[in-house]
């Protein structure tokens, strides 16, 4: 079966750095997405990785290792507004997006 | 550029009643998705359209759920009759064109969702 694993919840301090991990086992791979979802709102696109390595976009970076079936989202200089759920999703061989359950990130002052 | 529009934003019904949700995707997006999201879980794909054809409806409970996208633009999702376990957020998303292996074409953009509560 297809499976994506993320930690359920993480807590970090304002101004700090946090890394949210995602491991996946899917039938094929055509890319990995990270989405941010604030409580009561729709998911919004953060990043896309299809090749190994790090993609940096401002305070957010996303890393991919296809051989390990592993990705992480790195958030720097955390702000209170970063409190949200972060969803990892993999595009499988049929171009279907397989979603993780999300990681709820709590930022404390 | 206008985003994905959905209505209504909230709906409360009693079990065994029917309900319909509407979605208008981003202009020019060929692919439209309906998801069900239960609190604390990731989105679950119900149905995917490419223009006005169904690409995947394998997880759609067809005995009670139906969806259409007649002119290849906006779409409606219906539940009839509703059950208590249908209480969830129903998200509509669109992408330029799925199955092309390009992040720009594959990236899904979501509407605000419809919160359904079945009593």
C-alpha span between B48 and B35 (Å, rounded): 9
Find out whether B4 and B114 touch, Cβ atoms under 8 Å. no
Which of A42, A62, A90, A99 would best serve as a mutation to test chain B binding (most B beta carbons within 10 A)?
A42
The model's confidence at residue B105, banded by pLDDT at 50, 70 and 90, is confident
Nearest-Cα distance to chain A for B34, in Å, is 12
DSSP for residue A76: -
Contacts of B110 in chain A (CB under 8 A): 42-44
State the average pLDDT over residues A8-20: 97
Task: Render pLDDT for A67-77 as a digit per residue (tens, 0 to 9).
Answer: 999 999 999 99
* Higher pLDDT pick, B39 / B86: B86
**Per the CB < 8 Å rule, is A43 touching B99?**
no
Q: Return d(Cα B97, Cα B89) in angstroms, integer.
A: 24
Give the minimum alpha-carbon distance from B93 to chain A in angstroms, rounded to a whole number: 9
Among chain B residues, CA nearest to A9: B40
* Nearest chain B Cα distance for residue A17, angstroms: 24
Q: Give chain B positions within 8 Å (CB) of A91.
A: 106
CA-wise closest residue to A63 among A80, A76, A48, A77: A48
> Does B113 contact A91 at a Cβ distance shorter than 8 Å?
no
pLDDT of residue A6: 97
d(CA A97, CA A32): 9
The per-residue pLDDT for range A31-60, each reduced to its tens digit, is: 999 999 999 899 999 999 999 999 999 999
Model confidence pLDDT, tens digit, residues A66-109: 999 999 999 999 999 999 999 999 999 888 899 999 999 999 99
Within 8 A of B50 by CB-CB distance, chain A residues are none
Residue A32: closest C-alpha in chain B: B103
pLDDT digits (tens, 9 = 90+) for B60-91: 999 999 999 988 899 999 999 999 999 999 99
pLDDT at A9 over 90: yes
Contacts of B108 in chain A (CB under 8 A): 33, 45, 97
Q: Do A99 and B103 touch (CB under 8 A)?
A: no
A1: pLDDT strictly greater than 90 = no
């Amino acid at each position: 079966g297809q499976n994506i694993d993320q930690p359920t919840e993480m807590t970090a301090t304002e101004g700090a750095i946090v890394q949210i991990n995602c491991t996946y086992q899917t039938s094929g791979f055509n890319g990995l997405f990270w989405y941010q979802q604030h409580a009561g709102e729709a998911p919004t696109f953060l990043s896309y990785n299809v090749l190994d390595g790090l993609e940096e976009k401002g305070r957010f970076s996303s890393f991919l290792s296809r051989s390990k079936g592993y990705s992480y989202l790195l958030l720097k200089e955390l702000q209170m507004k970063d409190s949200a759920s972060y969803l990892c999703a993999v595009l499988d061989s049929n171009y279907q997006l397989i979603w993780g359950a999300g990681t709820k990130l709590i930022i404390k002052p | 550029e206008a985003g994905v529009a959905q209505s209504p934003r909230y709906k409360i019904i009693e079990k065994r009643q029917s309900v319909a949700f509407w979605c208008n995707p981003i202009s020019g997006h060929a692919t439209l998705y309906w998801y069900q999201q239960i609190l604390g879980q990731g989105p679950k794909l119900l149905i995917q359209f490419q223009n006005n054809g169904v690409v995947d409806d394998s997880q759609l409970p067809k005995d009670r759920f139906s969806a259409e996208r007649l002119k290849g633009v906006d779409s409606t999702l219906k539940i009839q009759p509703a059950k208590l376990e249908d209480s969830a957020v129903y998200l509509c998303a669109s992408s330029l064109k799925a199955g092309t292996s390009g992040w720009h074409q594959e990236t899904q953009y979501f509407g605000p969702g419809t919160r359904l509560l079945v009593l």
